[in-house]
Structure formats: C-alpha cells, structure tokens
Structure 1
Amino acid sequence: MEHHPLHRRSFLHVCATALAATASMAVSAGAVEPATKLIVADQAEFVRNLLEASGQRKTLSFTVDFPNFAGGPAILEAIRAGALDIAYVGDTPPIQARASGTLLPIVATFTREIAQYRLTSRAGLRIEKLSELKGKKVSYVEGSGRQVYLIEALNRAGLTLGDITPVNLRVADLPDALRSGAVDVAVLQEPFVTRLSRQAGASAVVDPEERRLLPSTSYFYARPDALADPGKAEAIRQFLAAFVKAGKWSNENDKAWAKLYYTDFQRVSPEDTAAILKGQSPLVFQTSAEAIPHHQKLIDILYQAGSIRERFDAKGSFVDTFDKTIEQSR
C-alpha cells in the first residue's frame, strides 16, 4: 500500500486552524449534538472496558465507537486515512509519526510509574543482567512503545541495537514467537508475561534495573481535522473528562477493575490476576506541561539510537486545549 503522510508544513497550518477553532469554542463548551460520533482507537479493548466498568460511558450523550487495534503502526495507518478521531497509543507512535512527517497532536497523557512492559525470555533462558541481552534474538516492533523500552534497556547495559539480533514482528505475534523459541527475548505486556511464565516456562529479566527503565506512558493523539471541528472537539473534551474519571475509579477500585478486565474479560485466572495487580502502579494523568519533559527524553533516546533522523522539540507534539479538563477531572 502506498502511503501519503501529511507534509509537516501542511500539518502545521491545519493544526494552527484547529487550535484557533478549539480556543474559540472553549468559552461556549457544553452540549454535544446527539448525532455526533467520536471514533476512538483502542488497544486490547482497554479504553472501552475502563469506561464501561466505571460507569463513565453512560455519562456521554453522543456515540463513541472503539475499533480495536494491535499496536501503534496500524493505528497510524487508520488515522492517516481519516478513519479515526483520536487514538490511545503508547509512548513511541507519536514520535515516529512526527518523524515521518505526520504530526498528530497529543491531547492527553497518562502514565504509570512502573512500566507495564517486561523484557521476557524464552523457556530455558534466564537473564540475570541486562548486559546478557548481548547476542540474543530480541523482538523489535518498529513504531511501538516496545521500541524505546528496548533501546533504553540496551543503553543501561552499555549496549546498542547493533549488539543484538533484532527480530521485527507484529505485536500480535510476540507471544507465539517467544513460546516457540523463534526469539530469545520479547518485550511483552500483561497478561502475556504471567501467562507465558506459568504455561511455557518463560521468565521476566531478573535485573532490578529493568523495572526502573522508563515509566509506562500512553497518550491520546488526535486527527487535526477532528480538533478543527467544534462539535468533535467538544466531544473529545467530554470523552477525556470521562476517561480521567474512569482511571481515577480504577485506582480507587483496583481489585474490582482487575477482576473485570483480566479475570472476566481476558480470562486470566484469579491467581494470575492477583500477580498482575501486584506489579502495577496507579494511573497518573498529566497536563501537556507536565508531560513534555519525559516526551523529550523519549525523543532523545530514539534520536541517539539512530531510530529517528531529527531531534525535535517535544513542545511541538502537544496541544494544551484540554489541560483544564484533565486538571478538573483527575
């Protein structure tokens, strides 16, 4: 398929128009036309489940669709095609999109102090130190949050991508690749870390430094045309308010949320659900000003590794249109 990413200069013009529209709309923010539809890219059906479990979806007076995707690259293709309004993505996709000339503004940031990614090794291989990644076949998903996580793990060990054999896979193929031994190490998320550890003899990297690599940061980024539409922009504002409140509910009711999402929805055993919950830290919601420093760090990591050609200013990746909403809802 041939891609036609937005030229950066063209995007900046569209984004300026979007910001002007949302700024003028903000004073009269209120009801959204019932016919309005917001299309939100989801992953592992996390956003939809969180809104429904917390009761926040019922507070939205407009239709929200949640097409589910496996990873940031597929989401980028859909948003480029105009099929999405906003998208839930990991920390790397907005950077890779901008590096390719498609600057999609980040409208909200949420993070966990402890990363949800785990470097996980196949059966028969136990990695005690990050330095032992040298020479191993390691999953490397271009354009996903796993990318920067792996690069930072190598940095901490004094290694580079040239010191491993990177195996480029789709996100959905990672568990089977590890299970079959096609790769030595994969960057996984729950429930697959716990599931493969119990069922297939896999094991998370033991080095305590691995748990301190990076926080688990995710974003919602938006299609500029959606921000430029006052009705859509107000729907996005109300959606983000509901999402932040839902996240707050999950922090305060972590056991109930874990049961609903992992045990009931993903069919994880109660014992494994408890193990997953033990390794998690609460969701934290950030304004653009609070999120920019860490985003700059991620840009710098990717640039220094040669994964992007330009070191750009993180401030240009964010809009502050919805910061007040996030502050009032968290």
Structure 2
Amino acid sequence: MLFMPLLVLALAASGCGNSGSAAAVSPSAEPAATAEPAATAAPASPASPEADLSGVTLRIGQVGWSEWEEGFKAAGLLDTPYKLEFSVFQGGNLELEAIAADQLDFAITSEIPPIFASQAANQGNFNVIGVQRWNTLNQELVIPKGSKVTTVAELKGKRIAYVPNTTAQYFLVKMLEGAGLTWKDIEPVKLTTAEGLSALVGGKVDALASYGNSIIAARQNGATTLASAADILSGNFPVSANVKSIDDPVKHAAIADFLERLTRYYTWTQGNQEQWAEITAKNTNQKQAEVLDTLVNGDKQRPLALETISDQSIASQQDIADIFTDLGLLPDTVDVSTIWSHAFDDEITAIVKK
C-alpha cells in the first residue's frame, strides 16, 4: 500500500506540503498495448470504452520519488492504452503550479496546496475530483534528546521549528489550541524539513513539528514524540486534475483509467509488502525493515483508498483554510467548495465497487 510518509519523502497527503524545489522530469517510455453536476465546471462527456487513447499523453505528478512509475512497473500496470509521462516534484504546491502552467494533468497532494493554488490566476486551472484516504502516521511534534518538556503547554515562549504552509503548521496550531495556547504564545521558526531536523538535533530549537522521514530521522537521533497528529489530521489527500483535461473527453477517459490502475496498484502493494518495501528502500536510501514497518503500521491505521467527494472532505479542507486565514497567510476567507468538481463521481464509484 502506498503511504503518505513514503509519498512525501522529500517533505511529504500528501505531499505533502506547500514547500519545495523544482522537479526533475522522468517520462515513461511505455507506449500503449492494449453525474452529478460539477461544482465549478461541467463534467466532460465520457469517451466510449472503445475510444482511441493512443494519441493521449497523460502527465502525472509525484512527490519525492518516482513511486507510481516504479510501482506500476512492479505490478505490471504500465500497459496503458495511452502514454504516461511521470514527473517528480519536491512538494504538492509545485505539482499544482505545473498544472496551472498546463504542464501537468494529474496530482495528489495534501489538503493544503490546493487552498493556496486556488488563489492563483484562473483559480489555478485545476479541480479536486476525488479523495485518496491515507494514514496519518509520522506527523508529529517532537522534542530533542534530553529535553525536560513533558507537555505541549510547557512550550509557551519556546522556539518551535515547523514547515510553513503545510500540515505541520496546521497540526501545530491545533496542538497549541488543545493546550490552551495560541500561535502568539510561542516563537515559531520557519524551516524546511531538513533544516528543522538539523535545528532540533543541534539544539537550536525546543521542538519540531514535521512529518515523514524527518520525524523518523529525529527519533533515530534521540528525539521523542511530545504529541502526535494521527488523530488531528483527516487522512484526506485531494486528487487534482487539470481543468482542460477534465473537459476533454479522451483525456478524461485516460484519467479514469489511471485512477483504476492506481487503485489496483494499492491492492498489489498490500499483497506484496516485502517486495514493495525492498523497491522503496532501494529508491529512497532507507532501511528496508523501517520501510516495511511503516507499510504495515500504516495499513493498520488507515488503509489507502479512493473515494468520491463528500461534504465531510470539503468541510475538513475548509477548516484548514479558515485557520490559515486566521494566521494571516491567506488574503481573505476562501470558499474551498469552489475548487471541487463532481466530474469523476461516476467513474470513481465504479472503480471502488470492483
């Protein structure tokens, strides 16, 4: 199964965050072998099952490493009736920037990047068409080895590193609120995941709010968990698609096929965890045993699954947007429902019923 801590390796559901650097492009060389009204755009007329997709190139974004490309290869799913072009990005925000520039058709991120991307011209040229449900492990507030802090409340006036405009900032706000503190009660320090880890280990900050590999590495360096976001975060990862691709019947059909293959890939990883852990470890320079442990524990907490849009998923993202507005990170109140589209409801419903 694909898990957020692996998907967002560089961060990190994403994926996951809204920070990072430019991506390298890795096109696939595998040629073909074989509703409900939308919230913001009318659904495309579906192509017939016999539609010729051989002229379509579907441009897919990934975060951290070429996970889906490697996974599809291992699972025997690269025999698409269209061409696949995979690109690797260091953050979900960069994927959505690529969609805005019409250089990408499809991406899955955490809930936060679409909020900020929707503020761009033409509302970012994307719609959220569904949700992937992932586990929320390794999203934590940690303290360094030797720290005397035992509760979040004791962090008042302390220096806390966090990754700005990401799930880390969101869950840190929630943790502070739960301890009777506000953002103004701490000394927040904006850092990348790597910088935050270095600052924590080097004793330059009193705590770190981060995710993925940075949390795993922090624990390996003696850090301990002060609070976990496992029950704070929704586990929702919006599936975003280029508006032009949604409206084009043939490319629409290709996206639907890719979603179906992605779901089959998830099933394959569930049944081949050791093999997938070996592939992942080799590509990410992690220990295979640690990767396998993440896979197994993540599956226990929340198996990854594709879902259609729900009122609950929109409300979850709206809560995040409202918090970022309160922090002054957004210019005004954002109505996130305007970026969600029901154009793939029928296709996703059919996929999950299989």
Secondary structure, counterpart of 1:66 in structure 2? strand
Query: Residue type of the partner of 1:301?
Result: I
**Deviation per CA, 1:67-126, whole angstroms, max 9, x where unpaired?**
211123333433333222222211101112224553431122112354442223333336
**For residues 348 and 149 of structure 2, what CA distance do their matches in structure 1 show?**
40
Indicate if the aligned counterparts of 1:118 and 1:188 stay in contact, CA closer than 8 A: yes
1:154 paired with 2:176, answer: yes
**Deviation per CA, 1:276-308, whole angstroms, max 9, x where unpaired?**
235423113221126323223323333344433
1:227 paired with 2:259, answer: no
**For residues 126 and 270 of structure 1, what CA distance do their matches in structure 2 show?**
33
The residue that corresponds to 1:288 in the other structure is 309
1:166 CA drift (Å): 2.2
1:249 paired with 2:268, answer: yes
1:212 paired with 2:231, answer: yes
The residue that corresponds to 2:59 in the other structure is 39
Q: Structure 2-normalised TM-score?
A: 0.75
Query: Residue type of the partner of 1:222?
Result: A
Indicate if the aligned counterparts of 1:255 and 1:277 stay in contact, CA closer than 8 A: no
1:272 paired with 2:293, answer: no
The partner residue of 1:51 within 72, 75, 92 is 72
**For residues 147 and 50 of structure 2, what CA distance do their matches in structure 1 show?**
56
The partner residue of 1:66 within 55, 76, 86 is 86
The residue that corresponds to 1:10 in the other structure is none
The partner residue of 1:178 within 200, 205, 219 is 200
**For residues 328 and 17 of structure 1, what CA distance do their matches in structure 2 show?**
20
Indicate if the aligned counterparts of 1:196 and 1:202 stay in contact, CA closer than 8 A: yes
CA distance change for structure 1 residues 276 and 34 in 2, over 3 Å: closer, same or farther? same
**For residues 196 and 50 of structure 2, what CA distance do their matches in structure 1 show?**
44
CA distance change for structure 1 residues 17 and 96 in 2, over 3 Å: closer, same or farther? closer
Q: Structure 1-normalised TM-score?
A: 0.80
The residue that corresponds to 2:21 in the other structure is none
1:314 paired with 2:339, answer: no
Secondary structure, counterpart of 1:68 in structure 2? strand
Indicate if the aligned counterparts of 1:42 and 1:48 stay in contact, CA closer than 8 A: no
Equivalent runs, 1:109-128 vs 2, <5 Å: 109-125=131-147, 127-128=149-150
The residue that corresponds to 2:215 in the other structure is 193
**For residues 114 and 299 of structure 1, what CA distance do their matches in structure 2 show?**
19
**For residues 83 and 199 of structure 2, what CA distance do their matches in structure 1 show?**
38
Indicate if the aligned counterparts of 1:73 and 1:144 stay in contact, CA closer than 8 A: no
CA distance change for structure 1 residues 23 and 76 in 2, over 3 Å: closer, same or farther? closer
**For residues 238 and 146 of structure 2, what CA distance do their matches in structure 1 show?**
36
The partner residue of 1:324 within 327, 346, 349 is 346
**For residues 304 and 89 of structure 1, what CA distance do their matches in structure 2 show?**
22
The partner residue of 2:167 within 129, 142, 145 is 145
Indicate if the aligned counterparts of 2:39 and 2:337 stay in contact, CA closer than 8 A: no
Secondary structure, counterpart of 1:327 in structure 2? helix
Indicate if the aligned counterparts of 2:162 and 2:210 stay in contact, CA closer than 8 A: no
Name whichever of 234-243 and 182-191 sits farther off: 182-191
Q: Considering fraction of residues, name the structure with more helix.
A: 1
Secondary structure, counterpart of 2:230 in structure 1? helix
1:66 CA drift (Å): 2.0
The residue that corresponds to 1:169 in the other structure is 191
Indicate if the aligned counterparts of 1:113 and 1:216 stay in contact, CA closer than 8 A: yes
Secondary structure, counterpart of 2:53 in structure 1? coil
**Deviation per CA, 1:127-172, whole angstroms, max 9, x where unpaired?**
5323233333333333333332222222222222222222223345
Indicate if the aligned counterparts of 2:129 and 2:342 stay in contact, CA closer than 8 A: yes
**For residues 156 and 39 of structure 2, what CA distance do their matches in structure 1 show?**
48
Structure 2: any 5+ residue segments left out of the alignment? Answer: 1-37
1:319 CA drift (Å): 1.0
**For residues 49 and 343 of structure 2, what CA distance do their matches in structure 1 show?**
12
The residue that corresponds to 2:118 in the other structure is 98
CA distance change for structure 1 residues 110 and 297 in 2, over 3 Å: closer, same or farther? same
Structure 1: any 5+ residue segments left out of the alignment? Answer: 1-15
Secondary structure, counterpart of 1:308 in structure 2? coil
**For residues 322 and 78 of structure 1, what CA distance do their matches in structure 2 show?**
21
**For residues 116 and 284 of structure 1, what CA distance do their matches in structure 2 show?**
19
**Deviation per CA, 1:17-50, whole angstroms, max 9, x where unpaired?**
9944x432x1535545323212222112233344
CA distance change for structure 1 residues 285 and 130 in 2, over 3 Å: closer, same or farther? farther
